[in-house]
Every structure is written in structure tokens, then in C-alpha cells.
Structure 1
Amino acid sequence: MKVLPQSLPEVLVLEPSVQADDRGFFFESFNQAAFEAATGSRRSFVQDNHSRSARGVLRGLHYQVRQTQGKLVRVCAGEIFDVAVDMRRSSPTFGRWTAAVLSADNRRQMWIPEGFAHGFLALSESADVLYKTTDYYAPQYERCVRWDDPDLGIAWPCAQPPTLSAKDLNGARLRDAESC
């Protein structure tokens, strides 16, 4: 597994070793020992999620203020622009973001540790996103930061306004958001 450092040191893009030939391909999508070696941390994953989005759908930026979730995100069909935002007020990188394109073709995964908000924009006709979490979904602790907050300045690659849920339309500004 190859580790691609990002602008936020705790967020990593992981690129698996793929064996491909004229029959197709094989790769190990998760191996606990390899994950620990690549990230330098020991985490247990307790939940797997699968999300499908049409082109132009933006989900996020979501995080939990308690039962914080680390997420290991990958795409099994399509392509997304995947974003992580540091929501730890005590962190020197609070409010900074990093992003990567994840796709079924590049098979890359993004490790987003606890304390970060997560969101993505579907770039392909549809995108199936799979992600493992280190804690269970707890709706009472979920928070949302606005995707277009000028204080974040995320460079979303969209020519027109994205399709958003009501929750995402009403996300808090970073300056008003509860931190982790």
C-alpha cells in the first residue's frame, strides 16, 4: 500500500497494490495490519456505510461532536471529490481542509481521523461510496458545516450549484460551529 500525504498531516490517501490482467483485477480493499502500518495508528472499525449519489450531489460537511468518527472512504463505482475539514478547535490546523479525487478507477481511499468533518461531491453520472467508521452513527451528536462557507474557501469543482439535502443547506458557518 502506498501512502500519499495530504496538506493536513493526519489525513492520508491510501493507494492499494492492484493485480490486474486481461481477466480483470484484484486488490485487498482492507487489511488491518497494513492500515496500521500505513497510518501509524490502531483503530477498530465498527460500521460500514454505502452511499449512492447522482452527478452534482454534494453530501456534507458532516461530523459528530461526541462519538467522533474516523472514516476510511473509498469509491466502488464512479468518482467523487472528497473533502476533510479539521474541526478540532485546539488543533493548529483548525478550519483547514484537504481534498482528493477518489474513484473506482484509481481505487484510492482517504483516511479521515476523528475530529474532522467529511463531505464529497459526485463527479460522475453516479457514485457509490463505501466508508468504514470507528464509531457508530449518533444523530444526536451529528453536526454540519456549510459546504460553501467563505471562511473555509473549499474549491469545489462544480460549474453550477450542487444538489443538497435540507440539512446540508442549513449547515452552520465554521465560526459558529460546535467543535470536536
Structure 2
Amino acid sequence: MRIEATSLRDVIKITPRHFNDSRGYFCELYREEWFRKEIADVRFVQDNQSLSWREGTLRGLHFQRAPAAQGKLVRVVAGAIFDVAVDARPYSETFGQWTAVELSEEDDAQLWIPEGFAHGFLSLSPRTIVQYKVTAPYNPTAENGVIWNDPDLAIDWPLAGREVHISSKDADLPRLRDLFTPAFSRKETA
């Protein structure tokens, strides 16, 4: 496996080695011992999958609050995405910064996004299938998110010529700075 740093040191791109022959290829996508030693000492408890029928489908930016915060290991089974992680940890030196990686079925690369980061992606092709492992189960009471086009974040989504398809729930998410009010902070520690 090849490990590549991103502009946010805690977010890591992992690309497996392909073993090719006349039949196709074989690759190892995940091995717990290696991941825990080389990337993060975590255990995955749930696998998720999404299908985006149309190019330009935007999902996110989602995260869960502590104690149900999730780390995610994201990969694309079919199609391609522009995958984004935003540091939503209020006491982090990189709070409010984002990084993005293009993931596709071509190289089976994965993106490790630790707890405390908001995550979202834009499908770059029709019929895109995304799978991700998470370190905590889905908890609707801990669910949170940041609006995809937050002007403070200024994420450079590759939208040229693309119509954005987004859920009404994601279209109503707040800006990052509006999440970290005193009331929100009290919820975090309660």
C-alpha cells in the first residue's frame, strides 16, 4: 500500500498495489493490523455504500458529534468523486481548512478521514458507487453537517458545466462558524 499525505496531515490517501495478469488484477484493500499500525489505531464497525445516479450529485458535508464521532475510510467502487474533508475540530490548528482528493474505480485509492472532520463528495460521473467503513455506527442524535458552499471554507468544487444535485436536508445545513456557538459547545460536553 502506498501512503500519501494530503494538505491536512491527519487525512491520508491510501493506494493499494495491483497484481495484474491476463485475467485482470488482484489487490488487498484493507488489512486491520497494517491499518492500525500505519494509519490509525481504530476499529471499523459499519460499512456503508451510496449510489449517485447522476454526475454532479453532491453529498455532505456530514459528521457526527462526540461521543458518536466517526472516522471514515472512503473508496469508489464505480465512477469517480471529488472527495472533501473539512477540519471541524474547533481546537485544531487547522480548524476550517479543507483538503480534497479525486477517487475513482481506476486505482482503488482510499481516503482516511479521522473523527472530527466533516466529509462530502461530488460525483464526477453518472452511476457512481461509494463505499466507506466507519468507526462508529450511525447515530441520528449526533448527526451534524456544514453547508457545501460555505463561503468561509471556499471549497473549490469542480463544478464547471455540472448541475449540482443535492438533498434538501444537505441544502439546509449551516455554515461551519454557526455550529460552534456556546449552545453547540454545551451540547458537545453534555
TM-score by length of 1: 0.96
> SS at 2:157's partner residue?
coil
Aligned to 2:31: 31
**Letter paired with 1:84:** A
Cα distance in structure 1, aligned partners of 2:10 and 2:107: 21
Name the aligned partner's letter for residue 31 of structure 1: R
Aligned to 1:7: 7
- C-alpha RMSD of the superposition: 1.2
TM-fit CA distance, 1:38: 2.6
Q: Identify which of 159, 173, 176 aligns with 1:174.
A: 176
Superposition misfits of 4+ residues, deviation over 2 angstroms: none
Q: 1: distance between equivalents of 2:165 and 2:18?
A: 34
Percent identity over paired residues = 50
Deviations 1:70-126 (A, max 9, x none): 000000111000000000000000000000000000210000000000000000112
Q: Tell me the equivalent position of 2:110.
A: 109
CA apart distance, 1:161:
4.2
Matching of residues 28-177 of structure 1 within 5 Å:
28-39=28-39, 41-53=40-52, 54-66=54-66, 67-159=68-160, 160-177=162-179
Q: As a proportion of its length, which structure holds more strand? A: 1
Could you tell me how far apart the structure 2 residues matched to 1:100 and 1:157 are? 11
**Greater Rg over alpha carbons, structure:** 2
**Contact 1:70 1:113 survives alignment (8 Å):** yes
Partners in 2 of 1:139 and 1:4 — Cα distance?
32
CA displacement, residues 134-171 of structure 1 (integer Å, 9 cap, x when unaligned): 00101111111010011001000012441000111001
For 2:45 and 2:132, how far apart are their aligned partners in 1? 11
Note the C-alpha offset of 1:37.
3.0
TM-score by length of structure 2 reads 0.91
Instruction: Tell me, in whole angstroms, the C-alpha distance in 1 between the residues paired with 2:132 and 2:30.
Output: 11
**Equivalenced residues, count:** 179
Q: CA deviation at 1:29?
A: 1.3
- 2:17 aligns with 17
C-alpha separation in 1, matches of 2:99 and 2:28: 25
Structure 1 residue 177: Cα displacement: 1.6
Q: Report the residue type matching 2:128 in the other structure.
A: A
Rounded to whole Å, the distance in 2 between the matches of 1:101 and 1:171 is: 24
